[in-house]
Amino acid sequence: MAHNQGSMLLRRILARELKKLRQQAGMKLEEAAPMLFWSPPTLSRIERAVQGVDVHRVRSMLDLYGESERWEELTGLAIRAGQPGWWEPYKLGNNSYVAFEAYASQVLDFNLGFVPGLLQTADYARALFTSVPVPRTPREVDRAVEARMIRQRRLLSDETPLELVAVIDESVLHRPVGGPDVLRAQLRRLAEASSLNTVSLQVVANTVGAHAGLASSFTLLAFEDLGEPDMAYVEHSLGALLLDKDGDAAGARLTFDWVRDVALNPAESLALIRRLAAQT
């Protein structure tokens, strides 16, 4: 049976390293596969992270490729890659945005429509989940809100901190998602989050005319020392897209930088948020 559980991101890292070791050993895929009792297509799927691989097979690969110095590192990676992520009980897939965000070091988030998920209050998140035409039971809504709150813990984590750089359109601050009371609490939450060392928050004022971000909200994930390329994520009314090609991520980062340039600075943004919270 194909080994397909666990983190897709860790599987991709492991796959890249295993392919590199095979190439360093001077072995072609067609040569190595039968020595591992696999067909070449199976080994190819493993090296492209289409199919996972368990730790016992990784040990066989390390033996075949003559790798001894990285044994503990790569077998440990294989074990972690196969372990269920915290998100799985919440019905979030291993190829979902949340599964990739869990290993990101930085999130760049530009939003035209609502407060970024990492900064939402539970009531605000609940109002969003119940507003979309996706049939969810009350328990499923509770589970979705709980997962979103779990994601936010990394903003306060000392061991695995997540840096959030968020830019939101001013219209988001006026939209009464969940009603005035929910919006007021959400604005206060934004003001509090602005003081965190891991959070940078800016607002694009309504007085700004046409700018680079008008076409769509988007998110960019960066993975620091994991060796993974940046990943862009676009959520829309018909679904969502994860984009991990270099050109996509580079374009998203450039657009994000342009949007930040036209936004109020963090201090000005905080002053606006506090003023609107007092008026709501």
Round to whole Å and give the CA distance between 37 and 57.
10
Query: What pLDDT sits at residue 240?
Result: 87
Query: What pLDDT sits at residue 225?
Result: 81
Query: What pLDDT sits at residue 236?
Result: 83
Can you name the residues that pair with 203 across neighbouring β-strands? Answer: 168
pTM confidence score: 0.91
Is 177 within 8 Å of 129 (Cβ atoms)? no
Please state the rounded mean pLDDT for residues 175-195: 97
* Amino acid letter, 276: L
Q: If you search the block for the tokens 């050993």, which residue do you land on?
A: 25
Band of pLDDT at residue 238, cut at 50, 70 and 90 = confident
C-alpha atoms less than 13 angstroms from C-alpha of 192 in its C-beta half-sphere: 12
Tell me: the pLDDT tens digits for 252-280? Answer: 999 999 999 999 999 999 999 999 999 98
For 42, the token pair is 């199976």
Query: What pLDDT sits at residue 4?
Result: 47
Query: What pLDDT sits at residue 5?
Result: 58
pLDDT > 90? residue 246: no
Please state the rounded mean pLDDT for residues 220-240: 89
Identify the CATH assignment for 8-82 out of 3.30.420.40, 3.30.70.250, 1.10.260.40, 3.80.10.10: 1.10.260.40
- What ranges make up the beta strands (E) of the chain? 106-111, 163-169, 199-204, 218-222, 231-236, 239-243
pLDDT > 60? residue 75: yes
pLDDT > 90? residue 227: no
- CATH fold label, 88-279: Endonuclease; Chain A (3.30.870)
Band of pLDDT at residue 186, cut at 50, 70 and 90 = very high
pLDDT > 60? residue 244: yes
> Considering only CA atoms, which of 71, 278, 86 is closest in space to residue 187?
278
Is 52 within 8 Å of 11 (Cβ atoms)? yes
Please state the rounded mean pLDDT for residues 137-163: 96
Tell me: the pLDDT tens digits for 93-137? Answer: 988 999 999 999 999 999 999 999 999 999 999 999 999 888 899
**Ranges of each domain in the chain:** 8-82, 88-279
Residue of higher predicted confidence among 257 and 236? 257
Residue of higher predicted confidence among 239 and 209? 209
pLDDT > 70? residue 2: no
